[in-house]
Structure 1
Amino acid sequence: MDSVPRDIPASGAGNPLQQLSLEQLRRRTSMKWRTYPDDVLPLWVAEMDVPLAEPVARAITDAVTLGDTGYPAGTGYAEALAEFASKRWDWDGLAVEHTAIVPDVMLGIVEMLKLVSGPNDPVIVNSPVYPPFYQFVGNMGRPIIEAPLGADGRIDFGTLEDAFGRAVAGGDRPAYLLCSPHNPTGTLHTADELAYVAALARTYGVRVVADEIHAPIVAASATFVPYLSVPGAQSGLSLMSASKAWNLAGLKAALAIAGPDAADDLAHIPEEVGHGPSHVGIIAHTAALRSGGDWLDALLAGLDGNRRLLAGLLAEHLPAMRYEPAPATYLAWLDCRSLDLCGDPATVFLERGRVALTSGAGFGTGGAGFVRMNLATSAEVITEAVRRMAAALD
């Protein structure tokens, strides 16, 4: 195995996406950099090509120096998230006493679904959507009902209401797994849309569990609205984490947050679930939320630049590929259906262009013919990736 890199500093000022070379990144041993051969540009899984934010790196180093590597305790993480939510989203409704630490967002979703629905009750999702929604819910033995997004990539409320009606007919306690911001499209749900979701859920007796892991990754020109902040969402549950925004997926920690009317449900979460998160992970996530704001702002500015760059490169080199820059997440949802490819576009670009993207097929109805690209990398890598993708079609 490669030795642990010693020459990669934690990032300070400047665009974090432009601070590591491809050579440095290839010394990493995580999934992104070990799944494919070295001649492949990996732009698939949701890891960012950034050094750690300096406050996060310092918090981890201090914990290791002190030997503070035991079991997690306290509410510091929840308090930090509440402060962040107040500052960034103008939301003062995150009650620390109505939170619970969970190992990560997807495992937290599993636990929330267990609390508010039964073993055979259906779960509604808005396809195309994050593939683990299908995998984790399927592994629970729960039937999935799709409510596909509209052609504009937004929630289609007629379709959603129809799905709610079918879910109620098929189970006693159905649940709606809301992805907000939406992965893979980057759609940012508005306050009015979320309030309508809450009203619809209340009418049909459907419980809402919101995956809000990408909440901090929103362009400065846009606004993220927490689901639990809208009228009528009191019985909802949310899962949040600092992992996506500060690249901390390997430091496991997330928070389950209950609306006021769901607090009793959350109180029944098994005590052992709280043993899953990493104590060092919680320290890192807390530092990110409390002290990583400047780093996050630099990242968001860099992502805005990458969205503009990709749009320009595709217009020049792959004009038949459709892409609408989205205000949230660091993911680009690319429509390849007009390229007239033989087979899955992700397979074509991997085999012919040596660019690894995520196939849209795994995102459910509406995903076929699309690929998802991770934009959390340098401008140079994005430019080379598009060059390779265009060459793959020659």
Structure 2
Amino acid sequence: MLSRTIIRSPGRTFSTSTAMLNRCIIYTQNGDPAQVIRAITYPKLPSPPPNTVNLKFLLSPINPADVNTIEGVYPSKPSPTSNIAASGLGSQDKPVFVGGNEGLAQVVEVGEGVKGLKKDDWVVMDRPQLGTWSTSRNVPFHGVIKLPATGLTEAHGATMTVNPTTAYNMLDGFVKLQEGDWVIQNGANSAVGQLVIQIAKNRGLSTINFVRSRDDMGPLVDHLKSLGATKILTYDDLNDKSLRGKIKEWTGGKDIRLALNCVGGEPTTAISKLLGQDAHLVSYGAMSKKPLSLPTSLHIFKNLTSHGFWQTNWSKTHSRTQKEELIAKLADMMKENKIRAPEHTIVNISAQESDEEATAKIRDVFAKLAEGKFGKKVLLKLEDTAT
């Protein structure tokens, strides 16, 4: 007999269950996610060992890096898990990798020695590749960061540790920007680009945002303006010889000292030429899959500095206190509606679906992602499966 208890606290409703099994999305070899991932069911977690917590995942996104990890081409590699007893999987001879790097979880039970966390707290991940595409996991308590008690949506929490942190750190870590300064970026309609716009607006910064041209620019322009974009241009505008003069007029002659790049190729070369003295170009992606080419003259005569940025590396090189402070700042902005939750689609893997049905559903999601059929971020919600 399945029993269920509903626990309510300000702004949240929690559900805990007995006589339930767990489910996760796994792969045992690298390859096309639409072919190599599958859902498996495994036993309910035992009570947590000392210094660990049992988590129930509420919502977990699928990020491009997750796809690259499954394909085997991402620099950050997951560790195999050995605590999933299902059909002999999880042994040394049959390693299992649980997908998911980011997610929102609820603390279900704390082990001896755990400090600063209690049952029903919301947490986000502080370590990469913890396997967030799960109903429940047991993790070291230092592997998570506690969120504020109220005021955040599940979508905010689930998407907090990758894109918002990247946008914030790129705006904060390379140039001392003051209110009224300007930032230029390409890929402005990407998840990070939209967050750059919002965080910049909150800091009193103006943004020049480049996007790919399309037949109907109206909806995209309206959306980016609603986020706080100052100017919105297409890569075609980079061929306009009068652009430099227009930008000088917009900025009042002030040098632009920070450019953010996730595209690469010729558009980034053109954008770099719009920067002023002692500027910094920060690259965090290469969506065009073309190399970055910068004129030597920019380095010699304008003292341009080019950087790469990877949030995973930032997390490895900064203290836990710094990471907690960053999450707290972002949470405050989200609570005050200064950062919107991304437009998203929730894919629910229900308790009534068999592992075979769940596998077919999640593989179909990845096939559609590869074809570009999802225009929004995909968030996974896995329900416990009943015995």
Give the TM-score normalised by the residue count of structure 1: 0.38
Instruction: Name the structure where helix makes up a greater proportion of residues.
Output: 1
Structure with larger Rg: 2
Ranked by relative contact order (alpha carbons within 8 Å, sequence separation 6 or more), the top structure is 1
Give the TM-score normalised by the residue count of structure 2: 0.38
